[in-house]
Structure 1
Amino acid sequence: MTLSRRTFLSGVSTAVAAGTLGAPFVARAAPADFTYKYANNLPDTHPMNIRAREMAAAIRAETDGRFDLQVFPNNQLGSDTDTLSQLRSGGVEFFTLSGLILSTLVPAAAINGVGFAFPNTDAVWKAMDGALGAFVREEIAKANLVAMDKIWDNGFRQITSSTKPIVGPEDLKGFKIRVPVSPLWTSMFRAFEAAPASINFNEVYSSLQTKVVEGQENPLALISTAKLYEVQVYCSVTNHMWDGFWFLANRRAWEKIPADMRAVVAKHINAAAENERADVAALNAGVEKELAARGLKFNQPDPAPFRDKLRKAGFYSEWKGKFGDKGWSTLEAAVGQLS
């Protein structure tokens, strides 16, 4: 698949309607045995939704139309919190959700967001396709949900600033930074002696513009689509946190599907996840160049001093206690000793 960055970043999709004129009779396909809804919170043109539509078509074809997966992007069925409730009740059969948000229900799901844990995406996939991902899926199962084997990519988060580049942890001391409403984010930046402010994303641009905060942190693609480069000067490629989207199913709805059909559905969902990962990697490489061309000044800090600061501040010890010995040892087996 060839994916245009312009198509993705514009957030504009085109609907094409086709009809046949003059036909005396139109044969209608037999209704599907299973018509399930899949909801997500990303724009229609994000790689997740492009791959999801391909996935739905492949499932429909391989099951001879017996399984119809309907895709609802861009929070069409409600906010993340609302849709998670619908997933649990069975109103929605499938939902992709960040592990950091899912952690309100499954605390262990936030473990992939531990600050400066992953050195690169290779380490991410080794962990999340391996023992760490298996551990999180086991915890998700306790909430009566089913997580597919492959987690989808949201990417590493970077820090932007209107006042100075973030070169080392000392640059974060007293730094006023917007963070999502989440204990993990607040805890990490407080460990750096920063001044984190929990602000809803729809207020980020204005908060940066009016200097309520100096900076924020997000993946590059979102920095671009939200035009944060208009109110920020520097972008420090810290890769301080990685996040992805678990493809979740309501357990009762999942178990209603015959085993052979479940295998087909799972196969195509997991294949789409791997394709989306490659798409996001390609997009991020291009987005950095585009942001630099718009005047954003990039630097790449050494992560080692940041990890040392978190260790000395007790951040890793605190979260080891919250995630438990099993979860923490599984994380460290993949990335090396943190605490």
Structure 2
Amino acid sequence: MKFTKTAWIATMATVALGATACGGDGGEGSDGAEPVTLRVGHVFPASSPIHVAATAWADQVKEETDGRVEISVFPGSQLGSDVEMGEGLQSGTVECGMVNYAAAGIDPRLQLSFMPYIVTGYDGADALFYGDGFVANHDRELLAERGVEVLAFYENDFRGLSNSKHAVHTPADLEGLKLRVPETPMYVDMFKAWGAQPLAMAFSELYTALQQGTVDGQDNGLALTTDSQFGEVQSYMTLTNHAYGTGALACNEDTWAQVGDDQDTVRAAAETMSVDMRQALRDARPDRMETLKAQGVEVVELTDAEMAEFVKIKEVIWPQFEEVFGTDVIAGLREASEAVAGG
């Protein structure tokens, strides 16, 4: 069962019915044996493309393994924050998750994917963050060292900035803004360098923090900003594209071993999900911009000159974190980034 556009729409309709955890129903495999059951958690809303994709993946796996593998998907931080799931994936208390591993505290070197302006477009993202791309290989190997098996990487859109105070066109406009950022040192340092007041907090706390004015704004892509209804509590959105949002659909290595002979089937379905979800997210960008505008949010698309001012942060943060990643890794990342420049 390919994860087609029709399947996407059908799955979205199912998700809209409001199931708390979607996936397997606890039956038996076609041979009468008890199925392998996997619980997969993530922090995103049940209406998000990531949850829709995960649910479609669970259905596809059940069908293609004749019920030998059943997957239940838990949205909305039901299995914990990214940090909590990152810890659980290593210890085995979390079986599987769709995790923003760069913010999960698993290994400081996994912040690499958060480095600002590695790529500026989708062609570059596809080349470096998936398959045998430089970032994909780097992160896959580090996660494996920690006992975490990556099945596929997923897209969470290029990150932008929203706030409730004023339109942002240049880094100077960030001066003094209180912004929620992911729980990672790199992001805190980057926004401090821009003059903002970054506050690291779990994503599950963000809507309330915006609503109550604990923070003025946040940095996420169009998809998560609209799906989380941040347009209700924000007035401005700037498409800075300062980092490519990615994460991994991954399992604890001992849990993954239990899948046995069905590993190839489960992994192939995850890769299919990754490709189709990326396309669906990208196709939906214009509609998401219109959704924000309809909520009264001013959407700022930067000019080339304005974008160039933001990109300068690359030469501040990259050298600063060379000690964390190693000289060879930074050199390799720079070479890979330059090879897809403009993509």
Letter matched to residue 272 of structure 2: A
Look up the equivalent residue of 1:250 and give its one-letter code: N
Written as runs of structure 1 = structure 2, the 5 A alignment for 1:49-88 is 49-88=51-90
Between stretches 170-179 and 206-215, larger displacement belongs to: 206-215
Partners of 2:115 and 2:317 within 8 A in 1: no
Write the letter of the residue equivalent to 2:319: S
Q: Cα distance, 1:329 vs. partner?
A: 2.4
TM alignment of 1:95-134, pairs within 5 A: 95-102=97-104, 104-129=105-130, 130-134=133-137
The separation in 2 between residues aligned to 1:227 and 1:60, in whole angstroms, is 32
Contact 1:169 / 1:309 at 8 angstroms: preserved in 2?
no
For normalisation by structure 1, the TM-score amounts to: 0.82
Provide structure 1 residue ranges, at least 5 long, that are not aligned to the other structure.
16-26
Q: Which residue of 1 aligns with 2:153?
A: 151
Cα RMSD for the two superposed structures: 3.0
Instruction: Give the Cα–Cα distance (whole angstroms) in 2 for the partners of residues 189 and 124 of structure 1.
Output: 22
Deviation at 1:12, TM superposition (A): 4.2
What's the offset of the Cα at 1:333? Answer: 2.3
Tell me if the contact between 2:40 and 2:97 (Cα under 8 Å) persists in the aligned partners. Answer: yes
Q: 1:53 is matched by which residue type in structure 2?
A: T
- Number of matched residues? 320
Aligned residue number for residue 329 of structure 1: 331
- Whether the aligned pair in 1 keeps the contact of 2:181 and 2:188 (CA below 8 Å) is yes
CA change 1:223–1:68 in 2 (3 A) is closer
For residues 127 and 277 of structure 1, the distance between their equivalents in structure 2, rounded to whole angstroms, comes to 14
Instruction: Evaluate the alpha carbon distance shift between residue 138 and residue 293 of structure 1 in structure 2; reply closer, same or farther with a 3 A threshold.
Output: same
CA distance in 2, matches of 1:206, 1:61: 39
Match of 1:316 in 2: 318
* Residue aligning to 1:306: 310
Secondary structure in 1 matching 2:239 = strand
Aligned match of 1:48: 50
Inter-partner Cα distance in structure 1 for 2:233 and 2:252: 41
How far is the alpha carbon of 1:201 from its aligned partner? 4.4
Is 1:175 the counterpart of 2:177 in the alignment? yes
Q: Label 1:299 to 1:45 Cα distance change in 2 as closer, same or farther (>3 A).
A: closer
CA distance in 1, matches of 2:150, 2:16: 30
- Rounded Cα–Cα distance in structure 2 between residues aligned with 1:212 and 1:90: 34
Matched, 1:261 2:265: no
Query: Given that residues 179 and 198 in structure 1 are in contact (C-alpha distance below 8 angstroms), is that contact kept between their aligned partners in structure 2?
Result: yes
Query: For residues 92 and 310 of structure 1, do their structure 2 counterparts lie closer, same or farther at Cα, with a shift above 3 Å needed?
Result: closer
Q: How does 1:179-328 map to 2 (within 5 A)?
A: 179-201=181-203, 204-205=206-207, 207-208=209-210, 211-258=213-260, 260-301=261-302, 302-311=306-315, 314-328=316-330
- Distance in structure 1 (CA, Å) of the matches to 2:249 and 2:265: 15
In 1, the alpha carbon distance for the partners of 2:65 and 2:208 equals 49
Cα 1:282/1:13, change in 2 over 3 Å: farther
Which residue of structure 1 aligns with residue 22 of structure 2? none
The alignment partner of 2:284 has SS state of helix
Consecutive unaligned residues in structure 2, runs of 5 or more: 20-27
Partner residue, 1:35: 37
Give the Cα–Cα distance (whole angstroms) in 2 for the partners of residues 182 and 251 of structure 1. Answer: 24
Higher Cα Rg, which structure: 1
Q: Are residues 134 and 286 of structure 1, via their aligned partners in 2, closer, same or farther at CA, if it must alter by over 3 Å?
A: same
Mapped contact 2:47–2:227 kept (Cα < 8 A): no
Q: Deviations over 1:231-251 (max 9, x none)?
A: 432211111122212111211
- C-alpha distance in 1, partners of 2:272/2:167? 39
Cα gap change, 1:157/1:90 in structure 2, threshold over 3 Å: closer, same or farther?
Answer: same
Q: Could you report, residue by residue, the CA deviation over 1:131-165 in whole angstroms, capped at 9, with x for unpaired residues?
A: 221111111111111112x3111112211233322
Identity of paired residues, percent? 26
Post-superposition shift, 1:85? 3.5
Q: Distance in 2 between matches of 1:134 and 1:164?
A: 40
Which amino acid in structure 1 is aligned with residue 289 of structure 2?
A: E
Q: Deviations over 1:150-181 (max 9, x none)?
A: 31111122112333222122222333333233
How far does residue 331 in structure 1 lie from its aligned partner after superposition?
2.0
- Structure 1 residues 164, 32: CA separation in 2 closer, same or farther (over 3 Å shift)? same
